[in-house]
Amino acid sequence: MQLSYTLSNLTPGGDDGWGLFYEARRRKAAGEAILELTIGEHDIPTHETILNAMHRAALAGHTGYAAVPGVEALRQKVARRLEERTGVATGPENVVITPGGQAGLFAAHKAVLDAGDVGLYLDPFYATYPGTLRGSGAEARAIACHPEHGFQPQAADIRAAAQGAKSLLINTPNNPTGVVYTRETLEAVAQVCRDEDIWLISDEVYDTQIWEGEHISPRTLPGMAERTLVIGSMSKSHAMTGSRVGWIVGPEEVISHLINLATHTTYGVPGYIQDAALFALNEGPWLEDEVGAPFRRRRDMAERLIAQQNVVSLVPSGGAMYLMLDMRATGLSGQDFAQQLLDAHGIAVMPGESFGRAAAGHVRVAMTLEDTAFEEALSKLLSFAETLA
Ligand code: PMP
């Protein structure tokens, strides 16, 4: 008996770059004091007002099958939210609710790629991207973004890789770099998509976490609403990672096919979870500001600390819960630096190499420890780098 090629090749290759993360988790479980700055999970739980709304909805009986496209009131709310934030006319018919952003990413690629097609993504990348593209049986083709360009993608590089491609996946604010794409970058990306007739899949799950600059959705650019699928999620904005609720926003025709896909895959998202998401969105900005505030604060803290030395430099970034640090002056790879830091100080960060080739010589720091521990961990990281340089 043989498994499908698509499934058994979802993540080919040996070490997926997450070995160090697993090692840190193992050592922590064995009782070692490890400070973890690894994954994108808040250090606070979902706000209790959201949990109360979830509880109320469940007790009120919203525990049966929910409408597959999503509860109408939530689809309307998401549509209004996007319209208010971007100015692009959006109705519930442009929205399908998904079990988190990840399921949205998978479905969006399934909507536009057939087996054998080419889907483009940018390196460095969020860990699941290549596997998500391959899930459609497509070839996942990486395009490197370079530290010399502050990891902003360059139109010429995308154009050079676009031959035969049907889709391009972008993510701003970016995981792993924290980079927020400029208007100039997004206009150039949009131009390539229009010229080469490519679908744009825009992962905007960090859109509420902007510390510098502004979040621009490429769906707002001329001629892009009809070729852009926006991926959104409650995970990062409202610390609801475990609730698994997100959405895809796009042209009505694509959304109608995605609803059909949902009927044949997820069969929707639990009603009480959707009611909780609706409650959270209806609360307005205070909840998402409260969730984002620690990252803004720690980012300021990090900027101050980094400015006091000259070995490690911060990639110019302005959003999300991550800092990408350039460690090349230590002479070590990101992997070796991260391993030595873990061994010497019990501090775990992610090697840049875990996110592709383009971030070699860097490490990603997730700002997901409370302030004092975060400051201590980062200070130790910086002094350790100085001893190596
Ligand atoms: N996109 C990016 C860039 C992410 O970092 C994540 C989660 N870490 C996701 C999508 C998926 O998030 P979720 O499925 O929880 O919405």
**Alpha carbon nearest to ligand 1 atom 3, residue:** 175
CA-based max dimension of the chain: 61
Overall pTM surpassing 0.95 (yes/no): yes
Ligand 1 pocket test, candidate residues 236, 238, 269, 291, most atoms within 8 A of CB: 236
CATH topology of domain 5-45+286-388: Aspartate Aminotransferase, domain 1 (3.90.1150)
Residue 236 Cα to ligand 1 midpoint, Å, equals 8
CATH topology of domain 64-284: Aspartate Aminotransferase; domain 2 (3.40.640)
Rounded to whole angstroms, the Cα distance separating 222 from 241 reads 33
Please state the atom number of ligand 1 nearest to the C-alpha of residue 39: 8
**Alpha carbon nearest to ligand 1 atom 12, residue:** 101
Under DSSP, the state recorded for 69 is T
Mean pLDDT by 10 residues, the chain (389 residues): 92 75 94 94 96 98 97 98 95 98 98 97 96 96 97 97 95 98 97 97 98 96 97 98 98 98 98 98 97 97 97 95 97 97 97 95 97 97 96
Q: 381: how many CB neighbours lie within 10 A of its CB?
A: 26
Predicted pLDDT of residue 14: 58
Q: 142: how many CB neighbours lie within 10 A of its CB?
A: 18
Q: What are the structure tokens assigned to 365, written together?
A: 């720091």
Q: Which residues line ligand 1 (CB under 6 A)?
A: 40, 100-102, 126, 171, 175, 203, 205, 233, 235, 241, 246
> Which among 275, 271, 247, 270 has a CA at the least distance from the CA of 259?
247
Residue 205 Cα to ligand 1 midpoint, Å, equals 6
Ligand 1 pocket test, candidate residues 175, 245, 266, 317, most atoms within 8 A of CB: 175
Per-domain boundaries in the chain = 5-45+286-388, 64-284
What's the one-letter identity of residue 245? V
Please state the atom number of ligand 1 nearest to the C-alpha of residue 245: 16
